[in-house]
Amino acid sequence: MAENLIKPENLVYEKTKVLTDRVMHYCPGCGHGTAHRMLAEAIDELGLQGETIGVAPVGCSVLAYYYFDVDMTEAAHGRAPAVATGIKRVFPEKTVFTYQGDGDLAAIGTAETIHACNRGENILIVFINNGIYGMTGGQMAPTTLPGMKSSTSPRGRDVATMGNPLKITELIAQLPGTYFVTRQSVHTPGNARKTKRALKKALEYQKLNKGTCFVEIVANCPSGWKMTPVQSNKWMEENMFPFYPLGDIKVPE
Amino acid sequence: MAKKGDVVINIEKCKGCEVCLAACPHEVLALSNEVNSKGYHYTVKVNSGCTGCANCAVVCPDAVITVYREK
Ligand SMILES: Cc1ncc(C[n+]2csc(CCOP(=O)(O)OP(=O)(O)O)c2C)c(N)n1
Ligand code: SF4
Ligand code: SF4
Ligand code: SF4
């Protein structure tokens, strides 16, 4: 039993080299970190590190360019799909992704999201849906659930006065320009591994030039939701998944 | 018999979120009483039941855990 297993030939899991060694600024237990790692592992396993260009959003993941060890740029709030469109058209041989929260992608950036998807730009859009504006203090987002509390809906979202949550992923799946649309999560080992498989598929499909691939990751925001990370993951399963069911929404024929 | 494994925890990077604890099928992990330089209680190994399944490392948002498994 005293045998030392910690030697290189026994290594089965370590941080991918597509993530830098920087300590991420995210709150403890925040899904952004795991989502970053799954995307970085997908890029790593497909050998795409040298040819990938990412676009970071405005939101908690605004500093994503510090963490992904690939070429990255930063877009104005919500404009990542437009910036990615330009990059992909100038460098069609590169692998291009955006990484965006729900405030970025489904509120201020709705036009860019819908038109990039409708044009069928050959990019990957990674959409982190935590139902809230995390960075600015937990305000209501278009994706906030009916009855869900946020700092601007302290008694819960009342759809009669505050409108309905927007299922933007189902919406863009209707557009002819999208090729692969799926909704995943990263809160358990099994879900995280599935997310990586979906991201790998999406990156492989990009080589086919068939249109936009869109991977939603339903994620927690323990600080904005005012829960511990473990509580927030349970709350997500019980409340977010019934409204935002996991699984593929549009798959290539 | 299940294979034996081991984990190395980068305690300075750990934020004490407990997501890995919930993911370990063998209750190998717990939070320390001590804190790291950022003030977080960090993950420690509390028994030798690790099988090297890597579940903890896969869900750790901060890439804190490295996993080894006997060949
Ligand atoms: C033009 C502009 N409008 C508003 C803001 C303020 N702002 C910063 S982040 C953000 C929303 C972020 O929410 P989300 O995209 O859901 O990401 P999260 O922080 O939850 O990951 C807003 C409204 C801004 N930075 N720029
Ligand atoms: S505010 Fe929410 S989304 Fe932002 S880092 Fe903290 S937990 Fe994550
Ligand atoms: S590798 Fe598996 S068994 Fe070992 S500590 Fe992590 S989750 Fe537990
Ligand atoms: S999941 Fe990672 S950061 Fe959270 S307690 Fe475990 S080792 Fe620490």
At A211, is the pLDDT very low, low, confident or very high (cuts 50, 70, 90)?
A: very high
Let me know if residue A12 belongs to a domain.
Answer: no
Are A99 and A128 within 8 A, CB to CB? yes
Range of the domain at A78: 25-250
Burial class (CB in 10 A: 0-12, 13-18, 19+), A154: exposed
CA distance A162 to chain B (A): 33
Whether B62 sits inside 8 A of A23 (CB atoms) is yes
Confidence band, pLDDT 50/70/90 cuts, at residue B68: very high
Structure tokens at A20: 């830098």
Measured between alpha carbons, how far is A107 from A7 in angstroms, rounded to an integer?
A: 49
Share of chain A above pLDDT 90, in %: 98
- Using CA atoms of A43, B17, B12, A128 in order, give the dihedral in degrees to the nearest 10: 30
CATH number at A116 reads: 3.40.50.970
- B45 sits in which H/E element: strand B41-45
Q: What are phi and psi of A158, to 5 degrees?
A: -100, 110
pLDDT band with cut points at 50, 70 and 90 for residue A74: very high
Chain B: nearest CA to A141, how far in angstroms?
A: 23
The pLDDT value given to residue A97 = 99
Assembly ipTM: 0.96
For the cut 60, the answer to whether the pLDDT of residue A200 exceeds it is: yes
Q: Is B63 exposed, middle or buried (0-12, 13-18, 19+ CB in 10 A)?
A: buried
What's the confidence (pLDDT) of residue B2?
Answer: 79
Using CA atoms, how far apart are residues B28 and A73, in angstroms rounded to an integer?
Answer: 40
In DSSP notation, A44-102 reads HHTT-GGGEEEEE-SSGGGGHHHHB-SEEEE-STT-HHHHHHHHHHH-TTSEEEEEEEH
- Chain A hits for B15, Cβ within 8 Å: 27-29
pLDDT > 70 in chain A, percent: 99
Q: In this structure, is residue A5 part of a structural domain?
A: no
Comparing A3 with A160, which gets the higher pLDDT?
A160
Predicted confidence band of residue A2 (pLDDT cuts 50, 70, 90): low
In a domain, A49, yes or no: yes
Shortest CA distance to A214 belongs to which of A95, A113, A146?
A113
Residue A23: the pLDDT is: 96
Is the pLDDT score of A1 beyond 70? no
In the prediction, which pLDDT does A253 show? 86
Residue with the larger pLDDT of the pair A1 and A21 = A21
Whether A217 has a pLDDT exceeding 80, the answer reads yes
**What is the set of domains in chain B, with CATH numbers?**
5-69 (3.30.70.20)
Q: Classify B39 in phi/psi space as left (phi over 0), alpha (psi -120 to 50) or beta.
A: left
Supply the pLDDT for residue A75: 98
Task: Flag whether A20 is in a domain.
Answer: no
Q: According to the model, what pLDDT value does residue A52 have?
A: 98
Question: Residues B10-31: what's their mean pLDDT?
Answer: 98
Residue B64 in contact with ligand 3 by CB distance below 6 A? no
pTM of the model: 0.98
For a ligand 2 pocket test, name from A100, A104, A220, A223 the mutation site with the most ligand atoms within 8 angstroms of its C-beta: A223
- CA distances (Å), A100 to each of A65, A79, B49, in order? 12, 10, 39
Measured between beta carbons, the chain B residues lying within 8 angstroms of A228 are: 18
- Pairwise CB contact (< 8 Å): B19 & A13: no
CB of A134 shorter than 6 A to ligand 2: yes
The tally of domains found in chain A comes to 1
**A241 assigned to some structural domain:** yes
- Burial-class residue A164 by CB neighbours within 10 Å (0-12, 13-18, 19+): exposed
What pLDDT is attached to residue B1? 64
pLDDT in tens, A156-183: 999 999 999 999 999 999 999 999 999 9
In a domain, A6, yes or no: no
Q: Which residue has the higher pLDDT, A120 or B71?
A: A120
Averaged pLDDT of chain A: 97
Per the domain annotation, does A217 fall within a domain?
Answer: yes
Residue pLDDT, tens place only, B32-52? 999 999 999 999 999 999 999
